[in-house]
Every structure is written in structure tokens, then in C-alpha cells.
Structure 1
């Protein structure tokens, strides 16, 4: 069984980050080794106030323990980090703990603006981390920031999507899956660039008029699991998009409260079929 070290935050309430990634990767047949970057009373999408305990000291001790005990991982994935110092800690750890697959979700911004507490310093820190990645999964805002561009001026179309994916791949020397881009009122797309195949691709799904925290984490977890099972970047991204779309539509149809996230649990049994085809 493949083993993945997942370096993300852990909300105790709400389906996001490790609360999503751990069960999804397990359902994908991957042993998920969770290393929390912070423990939160809830995620930030609809709950306030949020109590946060950052875990940098424990992370450093854990990295040292893995090295001493010669624990190896087939994949390492990273998501929300509390600041540039924590990003630098992870960057340094990746130099010592090799893996066949490193997936970096450069979590720092959305909808044209930084998340609370982040600024240009986080862009620099995550840019350095992206240099270590095999695959990065930014959203449109994070893409613009990583490329030193204004996140509010882009008018997205397929040509720009391909251009940005290629720019990211060239800048950071990795494969790219750019998520959550709306090119039309009723469609959401993700674009990808596979460096080995020198191939851009675009995948579409229907837009649902609701905001659910944690869908990016869900997507990245399925993507990581599919890549570990030998799927190509495009096939892995397609499996991730199909599962995410299925879960979002089911949650929306059930009228669930958005801030608790998407109800993926009843559909975990369908994930294996997606990953087998």
C-alpha cells in the first residue's frame, strides 16, 4: 500500500483539509499519514471566531523523527500553512524526505485577495515550496500571485488558461492543475499541463450556485490518490473533477448547510470505480 504524508491543517468542525483528505485517500487505497500544520476549532469558511493552534514545533520534531527512524513516504502533499516560516520549515524538510510524488496546493488567496494574515511574504515562501513540487494545484488568484500578476485583471478564456498553465509549469518546473476557473456562467473548468507529455488539457463540469469549503481539498486528495495509482495527470484530474462534481451536486440537492462542507461520506464507496477506469 502506498503511503502519503499529508501536511495540512486539521479543523475539528467542518469538512476541509485533513478532515477530508484522510478519509478520501484511505478510500483510494492509500495510507494517509496526517501531519497537522494547525489545529482549528473549525475551518474559516462560515465560522467565527476560529481558535487556531499552530503546530510548527511538533512538525519540526516529527520531521526529525521520520529521518531518525528512516520512515519513507511514496507521496507528500502540502496545503494550508500558517505563514512563511512554516512554509520554509516544510521546504527544508522536503530536501531530506524524498518521495516519488510531491503535490503542493499553494493555499494563500481566492476571489482576488489574500486570505486573512497573508501578504506578499507568503507568495515568496510558497513560490520556493512550489519549486520542490511535482504537481501544483493553485486556483486562479493564487496562479496570478505566483506569476507576479494582478489577480483582479484577468478575463479568463481557454487561451489564457493554457498560457497560465504553461507559465506555471515553466516557472516552477512541475506539472500543473489549475482549479476552480469559471469560463462561462454555467461551467467550471480546470486546466492542466503535463510536462512529460508537453500537453495542455481542459476539463469541464457544471457550475453549482453555492460555496462549499473544502472542495479544493477533496479535489487534491482524489488527484493525489489517482496519481499514486499510476494514472496520467489528465486522467487523475478527470477522476478528481468527476468525484468533486458528484459530491457537490448531491450536497446541493440535499439542501445541506454550506459551511459544514460537502457530504462526501456517503459517496466514498463510488470512488474506487472512478479510479479503476
Structure 2
């Protein structure tokens, strides 16, 4: 029989909003523009905390108008506290400044949370994003200590660990990097490296309970997809919140990200406008309505 306290705890977990903290682009379906609809499709109540507002995404539209929201964040968090809005967990994406990283670190570590997923967005193709300070990886390295799951791409994993990795040709070559990431995390937390290309597939790798590297991927589609990492992180979070074991959540997130990329690749809408989500949202609806 469920005790009154256990019943209250379950009710709290179901009704307390899950925080999404990342940038919000007024044009292009990426970042918060994909996280909110995906997690909402899972039936998850949300607390949305934009870290910056942009008129467009940062590529292919020239230089966007941008407002950094480090002054807004503490005011919003203070208001939530006054209204007794308790956050059940968090997904963080692009944060953009050391100040915002430190602000969120204080909030996340203040009280235990059910699930913290960190996408440490800060670079790609071997380089740190140009608008970020050189010590940004150091601040992010401290921030991920509170995470239950992190989902860096290969470049971000290298910045976090300080390791240089040559071209990945086999699964075993990823193990040193994954081991180094795991040492940065708390016990029982997991690192999942995204954007790994192996055998004409692109996917992600992690260490299983037996200490072996696991890789799951899908066929490579031509061209660049803005926001694909945001889709994966949001899906992974949604499946974990629905109590899928991590390996299954990773496989589901990978296969469902591919659904969105396929729809985007078949669309006449230019890629710079982000990811098409119609088929993906329908798939999540089918998942959440299952017996």
C-alpha cells in the first residue's frame, strides 16, 4: 500500500515543472524551439528559462540581434521561489556565458533534483564557438558535476577532458575519452558522446554497465541539420523522464532523431530554418498513449 507521504511525493514529481534552460531563437526551430515542443509532447510540465534571446539562429542569417539574460535569470528564479514553484529537474543547452553557468550551477546544486541532463554546447569541428570566452570549458567542467547525464559532441568532450582524439575508426578508440569524461562526473552519472561517425552511420557512444563502449547510429543524411543535437538531447530527456533505462532511452532518442532529420531532408523549407518536427511529435504521441 502506498503511504500518504509516498503519494505526495509521486504527485509532486508529476506536477512540479521540469526546467529547460537554453537560448531561444525567434526564427529557426532549434535550441529551446525544439526542446519545448518535444518535452511538452511527452506530457511534461515545463519551466522555461531562456538564457539569451536571438532574432535568428547564428548561422546563415548574418549577425542576429541578441539579448543576454543573465540579469533576468536570478529575478525569474527568485519569483519562482516566492511562488513555491519547485523544479523537478533540468535540461540545459547553450548557456553562452560563464555568469549564466555559475547562476544555474547554484540553483541546480542547491536542492536534489530527479534528473539533470546537460548538453555542454560550446564547440564543433575542433573549435570553441567564437563568441565564448577561453575559460568557458573550465566553468562547464565544474557545472557538469551536478549532471546525471551529459551529451557532448566529440569536440566538446575534448574541451572538457583536455584530451586530443584522432579520427575515430573503431568503437574502442572512443573508450579513453569516455573514461576521462566519467571521471569528471558524480558516481552513477553517464556521459554520452554524440555525433560519432562509424561505418557510414552517425550516432552516439557510451560505456555500458560492463565497462564496454556501446554505439548506436543511423545512416548519414547529406547536408547539415541545425538543431539535431537539441532534438537528441530533448528526446533522451523525455524518455528518461518516462523511466526508460538509459540504453533504451539512447536507442529511442537516436532512432527518433533520425525521423526528424528524414522529414527535414525531404522538406522544401531551407535547412537554416531548423528541424521539422511533425512526424516526430506524432511518434511521441503514439509512445505516450501506449498501454
Verify same fold: TM over 0.5: yes
Distance 1:200 1:231 in 2: 20
Residue correspondence of structure 1 range 4-19 to structure 2 within 5 A: 4-19=18-33
Report how far residue 247 of structure 1 moved.
Answer: 1.1
Alignment-derived partner of residue 53 in structure 1 = 67
Distance 1:74 1:242, change over 3 A: same
Distance 1:88 1:267 in 2: 34
Of the candidates 124, 130, 140, which is equivalent to residue 110 of structure 1?
Answer: 124
1:182 aligns with 2:223: no
Distance 2:287 2:170 in 1: 28
Check the 8 A contact 1:247/1:263 in 2, yes or no: yes
Counterpart secondary structure, 1:189: strand
Distance 1:32 1:193, change over 3 A: farther
Check the 8 A contact 2:97/2:132 in 1, yes or no: yes
Alignment-derived partner of residue 163 in structure 1 = 176
Distance 1:160 1:272, change over 3 A: farther
Distance 1:44 1:97 in 2: 34
**1:52-105 per-position Cα deviation (integer Å, ceiling 9, x unaligned):** 101111101122223333322222111111211111111111122431101111
Check the 8 A contact 2:171/2:214 in 1, yes or no: no
Name the TM-score, length of structure 1 as normaliser.
Answer: 0.92
Check the 8 A contact 1:8/1:17 in 2, yes or no: yes
Distance 2:103 2:278 in 1: 33
> 174-183 or 138-147: which moved more?
174-183
Name the TM-score, length of structure 2 as normaliser.
Answer: 0.88
Of the candidates 217, 223, 230, which is equivalent to residue 210 of structure 1?
Answer: 223
1:79 aligns with 2:56: no
Counterpart secondary structure, 1:120: coil
Task: Give the unaligned 5+ runs of structure 1.
Answer: none
Distance 1:268 1:25, change over 3 A: same
Distance 2:95 2:208 in 1: 26
1:41 aligns with 2:55: yes
Distance 1:136 1:194, change over 3 A: farther
Task: Give the unaligned 5+ runs of structure 2.
Answer: 1-13
1:227 aligns with 2:240: yes
Distance 1:198 1:33 in 2: 36
Alignment-derived partner of residue 262 in structure 1 = 275
> How large is the RMSD of aligned CA atoms in angstroms?
2.0
Counterpart secondary structure, 1:23: helix
Check the 8 A contact 1:67/1:97 in 2, yes or no: no
Report how far residue 254 of structure 1 moved.
Answer: 2.7
Distance 1:208 1:111 in 2: 18
